[in-house]
Structure 1
Amino acid sequence: MKRKIIALLFLLMGCTFLNAAPYSEKIKELLVRLDSLIAQKNTFAMLKEAKIAQLHKLQKDVRTLEERYWLNKNLYDEYCVYNADSAMNYVVDNLNIVYKQNDKYRQMEWKIKKSFLLAATGLLKEAQDELRGVSGGSLPKELLVDYYGQMLYLYSHFNQYTGSEMGTLHEHYAQLERVYKDSLNMVLTPEDPWFLWYKGQVVQGTDSMYVFKERLQKGILNSAFDTRRDAMNAYVLACFYRESDEQENYLTYLIYSAMADVRISNKDIASLEELAGVLFSLGDIDHAYVYMSYCLQNALAYRNRVRVVGISAVQDTIHQIYQER
């Protein structure tokens, strides 16, 4: 794992568009803004904790299972990418509630959420086991996007972590990733609140990407970049620009995505991790070191086992170069 990630860093250093001239004044200004947000991380965390505290105060007024269910849901939403252990507590409690209610729809809804949390913290086999035996044909149509989206998320992580050197197993996960992309595409509609994110993943790397790029641009044109959805939409647009070797736009939207993640205290902060690697490849050791350190702190806090190992490997390389300058 460590050798693979370090090799990826040096592969990035050899990419044509990343060997271009140092980034522009616009990118420098955006990095200053991102630095300012990271400097305010404790303030953002306090705002998040205050919001959570207000929800906890409501617990004393809960009288029924249904009331507890909805309060749990609100707490889960706040904790989801902030504190995985706390989020899981509310997933488990809501699963207990919906099993008591014999509510099959909600049972599947919360099993999908549980699978997401397990995958987000690096427990990929456990995430897979949680949905073992479930298929699209057994689910109500209202849950199909969530289910296929989660399976795509899961197998993209399996595919990423196995690596091409694992041959048949890697190709197996890559094939499953393609299958779930196709399944997601069949049920996805523009009315879905996560349409831009999911559709972006489906078309990335295909000819359809160039057509959808304009729609994605319009969708986030007036974004404040202060929600998880904003972060995800900006990230997938950055990936489009990476695919088409447009360095300026790639860096721009990668930074916007990272800004949104910092504002919401997202601990599973993939955009900033990728940005750190790119800036390292451009020779900006200072930013790479600071950003990767921030990502490592968040991965440790979120207890993402796989991400901690990966970031630590890259951080060791950056730290060594940082000290040798």
Structure 2
Amino acid sequence: MFAEAIESILVDQCTPAAIRQIENGGSPAALWGALAESGFLELMASEEAGGAGLDLAAIFPIFVAFGRHALPVPAAQTIAARALLHGVAVPEGMITLAGYGRRNTVGDFIAANLAFGGMAEFALADIDGHLVLLDTRLAERTPSGVHGSLGSTLRWSREVIGQPLGDNGAEVGVLSAAVHAAAIAGAMERLFGMTLAYCNDRVQFGKPIGKFQSVQHQLSVMAEQVACAGVAAELAFTAGSRVPTRLAAATAKSRTSMAVPIVAATAHALHGAIGVTEEFDLQLYSRRLHEWRMADGSEPYWNRIVGETLLSQPHGTVLRFAMEEIQA
């Protein structure tokens, strides 16, 4: 029910034209207002706090839909942040997740390449293992410089860092990684759908290019990667849970990130010259895929976590590890 309602809003409000307008510095107020006024930002908040109390399994298709539409506002991050801030008065506005920032030598907190750091009004951060809500208006922002990027590097001086709101700061990074894994899975679905449609419509030598064996092979590899990414992303969204396990999130983010260069490159290759033009919508999704791949750490970072966990269990097998530990 929620997924269908949100899909309707995204189809109406999150158009390619709206994405371009926001990427070029336009106001996201209309799109953000449509989501906020419908109450969807409280989907994971507890029922006592006026939310819907959805668990990870229920929220998964919604986060995938956000990725499928390349949503240019931090709705998923805000939903997740409001769930983590249970029992705390949550301010109005856009909230992003800063799970992998660091302190410098003088105690300032720096969140590098923070997703939606260029527009979010607040950042829920993991600072020394504590949950801290930071006001981005008090931060020094440095845009990424990448075309169309909505991320920025933010630095808060130690004087403006507020008091901890809990000792569950580690949950921020884990949930943020899962959010990006779901977004990647959704954007890949859109990219594959666009590529398949183009190959069926584009005629060369008297027939659609999708009929050529070499193109079919590339589409098959692309479909395999998209399917694997979707399954891996869903591993982090277990029923009855509010925050995924670190291992499940690591597996999800690792596998979805690994698929990004293959899927994006294949989509652009099969589209040919039109695929590299700014006017064509393909780049709206492929650029976001690369940005989300790097968010919260790319696949080498998460591969190490999965590998170290596997090696710490010397008496098990890889199959048992995959079937029992990751999905636990």
> TM-score normalised by the shorter chain: which range applies?
under 0.3
State the TM-score, normalizing by the size of structure 1. Answer: 0.26
State the TM-score, normalizing by the size of structure 2. Answer: 0.26
Q: Which has the higher contact order (CA 8 A, sep 6+)?
A: 1
Greater helix proportion: 1
Greater strand proportion: 2
